[in-house]
Amino acid sequence: RIKQDNVMYFRHNDVNHLTQLLEKMQGRLGHVFVVVESVYSMDGDVAPLRDILNVAETFHARVIVDEAHGLGIYGKTNVGDLTLPECKQTSIHKQTKQEENNKEKQTETLIGGTGVLAALSLESHPALLCSIHTFGKAAGCHGAVIASSATVVQYLINYARPFIYSTALPLHSLISIQCAYDSICGEEGEERRKRVFELVGVLRRQMIWRLTCLLSGDVSSSSNSQGWPQQAMIKQQQQISAI
């Protein structure tokens, strides 16, 4: 219900542009909310949440983070995966006893898969108004929750029209969410996340290699080595050239 005149867009993950817009908006509006996603599904890139929150705090704005694609994928136990270099090599190796013991100790103290905010320990940042966690992606269920202060939660319960006029989730859906969440945060979730990023690494390297072959004109090498039809590769090359 916000007037479109009061909505502004900053360039994707561009904190400098966000800063410029917040400077312009100072004194013009009573409350400013910055709405971002933690992970963007098209390219899998991660928002610079720490910088966004710090800038928002400087200008007394509040940040709303959508963790739809962060839940189940990122968490305190795999912070290193937040930046995945294109040429990063991944491999599956048999764990030593020491590694298994370290992993058990880590699992006891850290919960994985709960999102980018948790991974970066930003859940208590003063500029964070709330985070939205949906269960229709990694959890394989439906429904969502909003994590915020008791004041915000009570306000939404009493004034959020979509919530007021929605039917509550049935008990079996809540049990499904709980089971999925337990799996995400446990040892099984860690193994699944490891496998996901191994596959991401393979896909990125293959895509970069294929594109390099196309741009260099080495169509036969790309198609013959990977089983791609040569005519299809030529067509792809023509399309890229046209762009």
Average pLDDT over residues 57-67: 97
Looking at residue 141, the DSSP 8-state letter turns out to be: S
- Higher-confidence residue of 107 and 18: namely 18
- Indicate if the pLDDT at residue 242 is higher than 50: no
pLDDT tens for each residue of 64-85: 999 999 999 998 888 878 764 3
Q: What local confidence, expressed as pLDDT, does residue 223 receive?
A: 54
Q: What local confidence, expressed as pLDDT, does residue 41 receive?
A: 85
- Indicate if the pLDDT at residue 233 is higher than 90: no
- Indicate if the pLDDT at residue 59 is higher than 90: yes
Q: What local confidence, expressed as pLDDT, does residue 134 receive?
A: 95
Cα 90 from Cα 101, distance rounded (Å): 22
Q: What local confidence, expressed as pLDDT, does residue 200 receive?
A: 86
Mean pLDDT: which of 8-22, 39-53, 108-122, 178-192 is highest?
A: 8-22
Q: What local confidence, expressed as pLDDT, does residue 221 receive?
A: 58
Q: What local confidence, expressed as pLDDT, does residue 112 receive?
A: 80
Q: What local confidence, expressed as pLDDT, does residue 92 receive?
A: 31
- List the structure tokens of 57: 């705090």
Cα 192 from Cα 199, distance rounded (Å): 11
pLDDT tens for each residue of 4-37: 778 899 999 999 999 999 999 887 767 899 999 9
Using the structure block, give the residue that is written with the tokens 């994590």: 147
- Indicate if the pLDDT at residue 90 is higher than 90: no
- Indicate if the pLDDT at residue 185 is higher than 70: yes
Lowest mean pLDDT among 67-71, 83-87, 168-172, 231-235: 83-87
Q: How confident is the model at residue 120 (pLDDT cuts 50, 70, 90)?
A: very high
Q: Three-state DSSP class for 214?
A: helix
Q: What is 4-75+111-185's CATH number, 3.40.718.10, 3.40.640.10, 3.40.50.720, 1.10.10.60? A: 3.40.640.10
- Indicate if the pLDDT at residue 91 is higher than 80: no
**Number of neighbouring beta carbons within 10 Å of residue 6:** 10
Residue 156's contacts (CB-CB under 8 Å, 6 or more residues apart) are: 146, 148, 163
Cα 193 from Cα 239, distance rounded (Å): 35
154 φ, ψ (degrees, to nearest 5): -65, -35
